[in-house]
Amino acid sequence: MKVVFREMAKLLRDGQNFVVATIFDKTGSAPRTAGAKMVVRPDGSISGTIGGGRLEADAMKLAREAMESRRTTIQSFNLSSADGAAMDMICGGKGEILIDFVDAADESNRAVCQAAVEILESKEKAWLVTTFGNGPASRQQCLVRRDGTLVGRLDADPTFLAKLTAGPAKISIHAEALDGPRFLVEPIRRAGTAYIFGAGHVSQRIAPLCETVGFRTVVLDDRPEYASHERFPPPTELVVLKGFDPLPELPVDEDSYLVIVTRGHLHDRTVLEQALRTKAGYIGMIGSKRKRDMLYQALLEQGYRREDLARVCSPIGVEILAETPEEIAVSIVGEMIKVRARLEAAK
């Protein structure tokens, strides 16, 4: 998201109009690609992606039309079952896409985009609210900061505006309507990056759940045939390792969630040793209590402290008596959500 907003801010500084295509779902049950954004420049080149395929091609065509008409519109889409499956969308690929014309001559647009970049870089929270109706003049946009202050302009009742960014709206892109105009609300926040070590069956279930609840998701494995886009469709990112020791340099910080679910306990130990040297906000490792205790004893003898091991959630996941890969994934992602909420409350 940061890359896209940086590109938007740069285009506006250069005085170039552009169109932003944003996927969302009108039912509230969002596809994995909900919130995906693509900037279409005046020359037709793009930054970002909304998943590729026919939908992206159609969006680029609509963007060219919006550039000419200088209008912001919404387009419903209903992909074929094959196209929908390729993008891993719900309901066979049904949803809506905002085709937003952004005028470089409007100083408000520059202020909003620059504020969004600053919010993302400072790891603060904000919400981008875009309202639109009939006619090019009906489009307004503002960024709502955590303290309720606005950047940009938006003619709306303050109480209604507060409701747009409350409850589940805090983390999920969604649309609302009020007496004609529609409002699209997008959280501008770093919801955390999930690094999933291991690309097995459990990881295949974890990754889409992580993305559904807002995590940027990266899967790492040393087996190219497992760490593939056939098994992990976009927007999941993939890293094919030469081995688990050493791991590549990763930008792990307090907003990082490390999920250790490799194919063997030796690899789990190798990853855990390196994970404990990071500032990750969450470290979870799969395995039974007996095998965990054996591993912990070996690490203590190696010089690790009990305080270090206390950072690790193992056995990983909340206790729901999970057995299947799907249930285990729900348990793990549920624990990640719980930790994220606790960390957010502490900020």
pLDDT digits (tens, 9 = 90+) for 234-243: 778 999 999 9
Other Cβ atoms less than 10 A from the Cβ of 208: the count is 18
pTM of the model: 0.67
pLDDT tens per residue, range 82-96: 554 444 444 445 788
Structure confidence at residue 228 (pLDDT): 95
**Best CATH choice for the domain 193-346 from the list 3.40.50.720, 1.20.1560.10, 3.40.50.10360, 3.30.70.2860:** 3.40.50.720
Listed by start position, the domains of the chain span: 2-188, 193-346
278 CB-near residues (< 8 Å, 6+ apart): 252, 256, 258
Contact 306, 276 (CB under 8 A): no
Q: In degrees, to the nearest 5, what angle opens at C-alpha 325 toward C-alphas 324 and 328?
A: 85
**Does residue 168 carry a pLDDT above 80?**
no
**Does residue 27 carry a pLDDT above 50?**
no
**Does residue 179 carry a pLDDT above 50?**
yes
Give me the percent of the chain exceeding a pLDDT of 90. 58
Structure confidence at residue 79 (pLDDT): 67
Contact 247, 195 (CB under 8 A): no
